[in-house]
Each structure stands twice: as structure tokens, then as C-alpha cells.
Structure 1
Amino acid sequence: MAVLGQGQPALLVKVVMAGESCVGKTSIVRSYTEPGAPACSSSYLATIGIDFKVKPIMLNDTRVKLQIWDTAGQERFHTLSTSYFRGAQGFVLVYDITNMDSFQGITSWMKDIHEKAGDEVDVILLGNKCDKESERVVPKRKGEKLAWEHGIHFFETSAKDNVNIEDAFSLLTKEILEKVSSECAYCEEVTCRWTKQTFYVQQSNVLSKDHSCLFG
């Protein structure tokens, strides 16, 4: 599946990180977007409000710029964080395998996602900090069961050791691109359901009126 070939502008995809505070969302983003940089720091600083990183990737001959929004998990920032859910094509929902409360909060975050972004948005569930096996309180089977109940994919990850981080983002991006392709492939003119922008399909390329592809 090739939506945008070489020489075409990159497709901008908005992905939002969600989950309780201190589950490792920022470390996951850093591990993915800054290869080689230490994902974790001994001087942890909680995300205040919203931050984002951009990660250019090539997937199935499609140039993509992932705009990854890192939201604060603290209750006092909840309204601000969820306000950024609108217009997102994908969500990375994170809990900490050493913190049962963070796992139990996932259902509430899923509700927020559906209310703010709709039922058809792509979501992936990550059980982070799998490098801390001796401190585990959330069995892997619980994460698998929860993901199955919501019909989403699941990985256990380690931002510290960079375990399954790239695989998780690649799978989420692939699902988003497949949805874009299926919605656009058989029509000459299509209105994107996320932004209400009009896109034209010519010779298997998806181009907006100004020859750029922007979602979100």
C-alpha cells in the first residue's frame, strides 16, 4: 500500500500519548524520537501540560511525519490534556506494570478518547517498564485481556531498554495509513472524516488542494 511515494510531501499524522502520571509516556516518546539519547533520567520532571515531538518515518513507501503529543497525566491538567484529543488519528495508551492504579485508570482514559476523538480512532495499549519484572504487580495477561476487550493491540515495553517501542509505533502508524487508504482509494474526491478537508486521489496518490497532506 503506497499512499504517498517518493518526492511527495509527507503525510502529517497526529498521535497522542495518554495515561496516568509517571507511567513513562515522556520516556517512551524520547526513546522513539531521539535514538541514542537516554530515555530515562534520575531527575524525573513530570510533563507540565502538553509537549510534542515530530518523528519522520517511511512506512510501506509512504513518507510520514508523526506528530506525537505528550500529555500530562496529573488530574489538574486533565481537561487541558484531553482537549488535545480532538483531531488525533491515533493514541498510545500507557500504564506502568509496577503500578496497579495506572492500569485501573486505563478504562477511564479509553472513555475520554472515545468521547473526544470518536469510536473509530486507532489506539494501542502499552504496559511500560517491563524491565522492572521483579516489581511487577500487573500480570501481562491482564493487559492482553484489556486490549482484547477493547479490540486494540497490546505490547509490553521498556523505554529504558527500548523494548517494543518502535514496533508499537510502526503498527499504530500502519493501521492509520490503512484506514486513510481504504477511505480514499476508490473515490476521485474525498472529504477526510478527521478534518473535513477535501482531498483528491490521482494515480494512487492522495493530495490536498495545496499539494500537502495534513491531518489533525
Structure 2
Amino acid sequence: MTGEFEKRYDATIGVEVRSLPFHTNLGKIIFNVWDTAGQEKFGGLRDGYYIGGQCAIIMFDVTSRITYRNVPNWHKDLIRVCENIPIVLCGNKVDIKDRKIKARSIVFHRQNNLQYYDISARSNYNFEKPFLWLARKLVGNPDLHFVAEIPVM
């Protein structure tokens, strides 16, 4: 979630919140990212975290079929609380050879008019793309782009 890959994975319990700043041609934009637990036993907690959400990334693991099967449930819960927000679907771990969900099988985004990106947290492949797409939607400017941070002298 920070752009830094952590080798040890601990499943999220409840919610983890981090600020992710991006510098754009229009100024700085900060995403307050709420990483909610995907496990069903924590499902009742998620609604409270969704309230007031302005956009969302639904992420699943391409090496685990069960996570993709949960996408419709996560999406339904999300739009029940946050009706008209921009949503991106991301398939994570695309750098792993043992991919269980092939690209041609990923169709939920097309059926539900969502943007989709293959990403890899480990290699940072496409890490910024979902955030750029969301930033453009939130600001209402398709010409917005990320720029390198200008060092303070």
C-alpha cells in the first residue's frame, strides 16, 4: 500500500489506514487508503469503513480463485454504502508464475463498468495506474498526470 513491498504478509484485521501522497501537474493529491480485511469473518466491520468513501480499489489475488470469487460480494457491499463513486478493480501478484486466474477469466469489471488493472505490489508494476485513474475521475480532469516531486532547496 505504500509502494514498498513487505516480504512478510500479515492479513489485515479490521482496517489499516495510510496516506499516499501523489504530486500532479495540478498540485498534490493525497489518498487516505483504508485497507479493509477481505476475510468474510470481518465482513460486518467493512460497512462502517466505507461511509464517506469518495473512491475505491477492489483488489484480489490472481493466485487465489477464492479472492476473485469474493469480488462481487465486496463490490455489492461497497456500492450499497457508497452509491456513485469511481471504483477500480485490481488483480494483484501478476508477477507470480503460478497464476490461477487467467486474464481472459477476469470479466467482472466489464460486466459492471469498472476500470481494471493488473498490478504487482512486489515489483511495483502498474502500482500508480489505479490511483491516477481515480485522481482523474475525482478531479474531473483527464489531463491530470503524476509528476516527480520537486526537491526543496
- TM more than 0.5: yes
Among candidates 64, 67, 80, match of residue 99 of structure 1: 64
Q: What residue in structure 2 maps to residue 40 of structure 1?
A: 6
Q: What residue in structure 2 maps to residue 34 of structure 1?
A: none
Aligned residues of 1:48 and 1:72 also touching (Cα < 8 A): yes
Q: Give 3-state SS (helix, strand or coil) of 2:122's partner.
A: coil
Opposite residue 141 of structure 1, the aligned amino acid is: R
Q: TM-score, normalised by structure 2?
A: 0.85
Q: Kindly state the Cα deviation for residue 138 of structure 1 after the two structures are TM-superposed.
A: 0.8
Moved segments of 4+, more than 3 Å: none
Opposite residue 136 of structure 1, the aligned amino acid is: R
Structure index of larger Rg = 1
Q: Does 1:168 align with 2:126?
A: no
Opposite residue 57 of structure 2, the aligned amino acid is: V
Opposite residue 32 of structure 2, the aligned amino acid is: Q
Aligned residues of 1:50 and 1:72 also touching (Cα < 8 A): yes
Q: Does 1:112 align with 2:77?
A: yes
Post-superposition CA distance 1:124-151 (Å, at most 9, x none): 000110011x3111111222x2211111
Q: Does 1:156 align with 2:128?
A: no
Q: Does 1:178 align with 2:140?
A: yes
Query: Gaps spanning 5+ residues in structure 1: where?
Result: 1-28, 32-36, 180-216
Aligned residues of 1:93 and 1:123 also touching (Cα < 8 A): yes
Aligned residues of 1:59 and 1:174 also touching (Cα < 8 A): no
* Higher relative strand content: 1
Q: Does 1:147 align with 2:109?
A: yes
Aligned residues of 2:91 and 2:118 also touching (Cα < 8 A): yes
Deviates more, 1:151-160 or 1:170-179: 170-179
Q: Kindly state the Cα deviation for residue 78 of structure 1 after the two structures are TM-superposed.
A: 1.3
Post-superposition CA distance 1:56-112 (Å, at most 9, x none): 223341432211111111222211122111110111101111111111110111100
CA distance in 2 between partners of 1:70 and 1:175 (Å): 21
What is the number of equivalent residue pairs in this alignment?
A: 141
Post-superposition CA distance 1:28-68 (Å, at most 9, x none): x122xxxxx4x132x32221211111122233414322111
Query: Gaps spanning 5+ residues in structure 2: where?
Result: 142-153
Among candidates 55, 64, 76, match of residue 29 of structure 2: 64
CA distance in 2 between partners of 1:89 and 1:57 (Å): 17
Opposite residue 6 of structure 2, the aligned amino acid is: C
Aligned residues of 1:129 and 1:158 also touching (Cα < 8 A): yes
Q: Kindly state the Cα deviation for residue 173 of structure 1 after the two structures are TM-superposed.
A: 1.5
Aligned residues of 2:2 and 2:20 also touching (Cα < 8 A): no
Q: Give 3-state SS (helix, strand or coil) of 2:52's partner.
A: coil
Aligned residues of 2:60 and 2:71 also touching (Cα < 8 A): yes
Aligned residues of 2:17 and 2:32 also touching (Cα < 8 A): yes
Q: Calculate the aligned-residue CA RMSD, in Å.
A: 1.5
